[in-house]
Amino acid sequence: MSNSGSGSGSGRPIGLAVIGAGYWGPNLIRNAQATPALRVEWLCDLDEARATAVLGDYSTVRVSTSYRDVLADPAVAAVAIATPAATHFELVAAALEAGKHVLVEKPITAAYAEAVKLVELAERSGLTLMCDHTFCYMPVVRHIRELIHGGEVGDIRFFDSVRINLGLVQPDVDVLWDLAPHDLSILDFILPPGVRPVSVSAHGADPLGTGRACLAYLVLRLSNGAIAHVHVNWLSPTKVRTTIIGGSRRTLVWDDTNPAARLQVHDKGVDRIEDTALDHDARREKLISYRMGDVVLPALPEREALRAVMAEFAEAIGAARPALTDGRAGLRVLELLEAASRSLELGGVAVAVGEQS
């Protein structure tokens, strides 16, 4: 499905509307304005004064309180949606039905069944549906993906992530749905082909009596026998953003609060060996060796991830290809979130995760 404002193959910028001028909308506006392949046409929000205040000096961008009016504009070929998750299904469906490409904030929708409908609609319509899994576009995460997919890390043995801080207790979602999408989207992005989560178990607590979990622990079993662990917490007095990924060849340590050594690549670990000189019975006793190699600190650029999100959105539209974090990536993350919520309700039992198509 084509659109007169697409810019695809024409060399013209792609006309973009941003829907939502709340917390994330201003960031989308700023980065879209700095992306040559995009041209911001509209900012849509129910609060017209807030939208006008967000735009400031961007006088060429029009303001509207009606998303349907915005979608009716032929100059708009794509929309970026930054509204509460409960509104995503209606807005994304309307945009796709109007022939617009869509970038949507995480999670893609509030329910897996709704997300499936949107992905199928986008694919039938030949439109780009992209999820803003922002962390996947950080230079450090892109480098981690390259190391894993290129075989530098070896077979994945474990993934351990901590995302804790003294955060804002959300009025509509628990800490799992607020923070864990970041870690789950990163896990989905970096895992090598053929490796996927097969079950999720979750434990949470609500010590404040808010009616929703304020801290939680997730354990994901992977199809290769490895384990992934995610700790999220709104109540920690200190901010910790650390992910450790252990492989058979290298171990990666990512500390996002340490710009001077954001990523460390350790040639250090534990290996299992078998002494072939021993007889059969003795070889049953597995021997362990410790590898004590170098630690490398890759030189990584410091770039705003959301700028790369906008560039990827424009490139995917122009090339008519799936985005790196397309609608199906959003489906996979949403399925893990729903499985985690079910596990939480069931007291932490493991909930199976179906294979994604």
Residues 6+ apart with CB under 8 A from 7: 13, 14, 15, 37, 39, 77, 317, 318
Determine the Cα–Cα distance for residues 242 and 62; give it in Å rounded to an integer: 41
| pLDDT tens per residue, range 267-305 | 976 767 665 555 555 555 556 666 677 899 999 988 899
Beta bridge partners of 270: 290
Burial of 309 (C-beta count, 10 Å sphere; 0-12/13-18/19+): buried
Interatomic CA distance for residues 8 and 4, integer angstroms: 9
* pLDDT per position as a tens digit, 76-98: 999 999 999 999 999 999 999 99
Whole-number Å distance between alpha carbons of 150 and 322: 21
For the chain, give every domain's residue range. 14-127, 136-305+336-352
Positive or negative torsion for Cα 310, 148, 331, 302: negative
- Cβ neighbours for 10, distance < 8 A, ≥ 6 positions apart: none
- Residues 191-240 pLDDT 10s: 999 999 999 999 999 999 999 999 999 999 999 999 999 999 999 999 99
pLDDT value at residue 59 = 73
- In which band, very low, low, confident or very high, does the pLDDT at 7 lie, cut at 50, 70 and 90? low
Q: What mean pLDDT, rounded, does the chain reach? A: 91
Secondary structure of 207-271 as H, E, C letters: CCCCCCCCEEEEEEEECCCCEEEEEEECEEEEEEEEEEEEECCCEEEEECCCHHHCEEEEEEEEE
- The CATH architecture that domain 14-127 belongs to is 3-Layer(aba) Sandwich (3.40)
Q: In what order do the strands lie in the sheet with 251-255?
A: 287-296, 263-273, 251-255, 235-247, 156-166, 227-233, 215-222, 197-205, 351-352
Sheet containing 129-132: order of strands? 62-64, 38-44, 14-19, 78-81, 101-105, 129-132
Q: Which pLDDT belongs to residue 302?
A: 85
User: How far is C-alpha 165 from the chain's CA centre?
Assistant: 19
d(CA 117, CA 288): 50
pLDDT tens-digit readout, 134-160: 999 999 999 999 999 999 999 999 999
Give the global pTM: 0.90
**Distance in angstroms (rounded) separating the CA atoms of residues 62 and 107:** 27
For the packed helices 25-33 and 48-55, what is the interaxial angle rounded to 10 degrees?
A: 40
Longest dimension (CA), the chain: 81
Give the CATH superfamily of 136-305+336-352. Answer: Dihydrodipicolinate Reductase; domain 2 (3.30.360.10)
More confident site: 303 or 123: 123
All residues at 6 or more sequence positions from 183 whose CB lies less than 8 Å from its CB, including other chains: 161, 163, 230, 232, 243
